[in-house]
């Protein structure tokens, strides 16, 4: 199989590329990635099956680039997206271009090239804040952040491609991912790397926002299962194995790392900060999906990975653009 993966230099995409090349010895992957601030070739350093991988630098919103990259592809897994909520609040324009226009360009090209399977990777944030129970795939989309709104729009674009043109597209909606190679602006790697450096971690608001956590390898397995066994036109929620408040997560990580509570700094809450996400994964389980790792073991292995791989994250955190963003978005908030 020749598989086109978009965003394969990012966190989830690079883990999927690594996992897939190891799992399928005859698989060939074309990796379309623009290498934005969060795209990092080091994410694929030393991976197994490198000779069956080709990186194409390009924008998913550029029809000519997408057309060239998709030539001969049997299937597509579309990870490429702007994904950081805080950045979307500061400026939503890149999110609309990449997440909405880029998805439409990808779908149009897939139709022209008669791609047999297309997985559009989305997020549980499209459901909005869930007061009780779990979101199912037929629930209305009620996004609250510019990021979530752009992903909800891309989900509808994918649905339209199936309804209007019969494109065999499946959508996955995943809860919070964690694991190696996650850009250190996201909560968990920021927390861990800050504490390795002896720096405080900014905790939004009262810390009682609830998130469901799934290890990135389990997410990769779920996406692969949907790619191979999912029903075209369907949506599949991908949940994790632990639902807990941000405050509880901070406490668990502090305990594992032996960090004093003084390195937690409450800051003013984020705008439109969804209180709780939770997804029902019965449809995915019906395909045969089971998690392969427990949350605690995966959390410990993730912390160990960041401790052992400072060569990977220190250059990212020391970049001028990252320092400027961090100072602008967190340092000026003050204590909550």
What tens digit of pLDDT does each residue of 117-162 get?
999 999 999 999 999 999 999 999 999 999 999 999 999 999 999 9
pLDDT band at 335 (very low <50, low <70, confident <90, very high): low
User: 3-state DSSP call for residue 59?
Assistant: coil
Pairing verdict, β 242-245 and 210-215: antiparallel
246 lies in the same domain as 228: no
Whichever domain contains 158, its CATH number is: 3.40.50.720
Domain assignment present for residue 276? The answer is no
Answer yes or no: do 219 and 319 share one domain.
Answer: no
Please report, for the domain that includes residue 316, its CATH number: 3.90.25.10
Backbone angles phi, psi at 208, to 5 degrees: -100, 10
> For 274-292, how does the pLDDT look when each residue is reduced to its tens digit (9 = 90+)?
999 999 999 999 999 999 9
Query: 135 lies in a domain?
Result: yes
**Which positions ≥6 away from 211 have C-beta within 8 Å?**
175, 176, 243, 244, 246, 249, 276, 277
Domain count of the chain? 2
Tens of pLDDT, residue by residue over 313-322, are 999 999 988 8
pTM to 2 decimal places: 0.96
- Please say whether the beta carbons of 334 and 268 come within 8 A: yes
Catalytic residue among 33, 59, 82, 125: 125
pLDDT score for 141: 98
Q: Would you state the structure tokens that stand for residue 37, as one six-digit string?
A: 């601030």
CA separation (Å) from 247 to 238, 263, 264, 332? Answer: 23, 13, 10, 21
pLDDT in tens, 221-251: 999 999 999 999 999 999 999 999 999 999 9
Q: In this predicted model, what pLDDT tens digit does every residue of 81-125 receive, in sequence order? A: 999 999 999 999 999 999 999 999 999 999 999 999 999 999 999
Same-domain check for residues 159 and 188: no
pLDDT at 331: 59
Instruction: Please give the Cα distance from 330 to 323 (Å, whole number).
Output: 10
DSSP-based helix, strand, coil % in the chain, nearest 5: 45, 20, 35
With the C-alpha atoms ordered 142, 144, 147, 150, is the resulting torsion angle positive or negative?
positive
- The per-residue pLDDT for range 163-192, each reduced to its tens digit, is 999 999 999 999 999 999 999 999 999 999
**Same structural domain for residues 86 and 135?**
yes
- 285 within a domain of the structure (yes/no): no
Span 23-31, mean pLDDT? Answer: 98
Q: Count of residues for the chain?
A: 336
- Residue 132 contacts residue 183 (beta carbons within 8 Å): no
Q: Is-catalytic flag, 124?
A: yes
Interatomic CA distance for residues 43 and 103, integer angstroms: 23
Question: What is the domain extent for residue 85?
Answer: 2-177+215-238
The answer to whether residue 125 is catalytic is: yes
User: Based on the domain organization, do 16 and 122 belong to the same domain?
Assistant: yes
Nearest-10 crossing angle of helices 216-229, 11-23 = 60
Set 33, 59, 82, 124: catalytic member: 124
On whether both 132 and 251 belong to a single domain, the answer is no
Is 334 a residue whose pLDDT tops 90? no
Do 15 and 143 fall into the same domain?
A: yes
């Amino acid at each position: 199989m020749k598989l086109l993966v978009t965003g394969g230099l990012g966190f989830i995409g690079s883990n999927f590329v690594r996992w897939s090349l190891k799992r399928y010895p005859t698989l060939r992957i074309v990796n379309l990635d623009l290498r934005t601030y969060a795209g990092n070739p080091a994410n694929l350093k030393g991976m197994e099956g490198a000779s069956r991988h080709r990186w194409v630098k390009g924008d998913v919103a550029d029809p000519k680039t997408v057309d060239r990259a998709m030539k001969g592809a049997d299937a597509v897994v579309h990870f490429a997206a702007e994904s950081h909520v805080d950045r979307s609040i500061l400026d939503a324009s890149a999110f609309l271009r990449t997440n909405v226009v880029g998805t439409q360009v990808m779908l149009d090209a897939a139709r022209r090239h008669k791609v047999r399977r297309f997985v559009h990777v989305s997020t549980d944030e499209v459901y909005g804040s869930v007061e009780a129970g779990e979101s199912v795939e037929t629930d209305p989309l009620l996004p609250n952040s510019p990021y979530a709104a752009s992903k909800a729009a891309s989900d509808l674009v994918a649905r339209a491609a199936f309804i209007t043109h019969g494109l065999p597209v499946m959508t996955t909606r995943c809860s919070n991912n964690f694991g190696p190679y996650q850009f250190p602006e996201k909560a968990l790697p920021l927390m861990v790397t800050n504490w390795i450096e002896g720096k405080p971690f900014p905790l939004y608001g009262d810390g009682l926002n609830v998130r469901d956590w799934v290890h990135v390898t389990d997410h990769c397995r779920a996406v692969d299962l949907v790619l191979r066994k999912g029903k075209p036109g369907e949506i599949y929620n991908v949940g994790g194995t632990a639902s807990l408040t941000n405050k509880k997560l901070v406490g668990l990580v502090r305990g594992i790392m032996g960090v004093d509570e003084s390195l937690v700094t409450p800051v003013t809450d984020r705008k439109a900060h969804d209180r709780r996400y939770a997804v029902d994964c019965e449809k995915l389980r019906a395909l045969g999906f089971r998690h392969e790792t427990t949350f605690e073991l995966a959390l410990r292995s993730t912390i160990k990975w960041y401790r052992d791989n400072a060569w990977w994250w220190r250059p990212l955190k020391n970049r001028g653009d990252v320092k400027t963003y961090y100072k602008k978005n967190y340092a000026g908030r003050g204590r909550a």
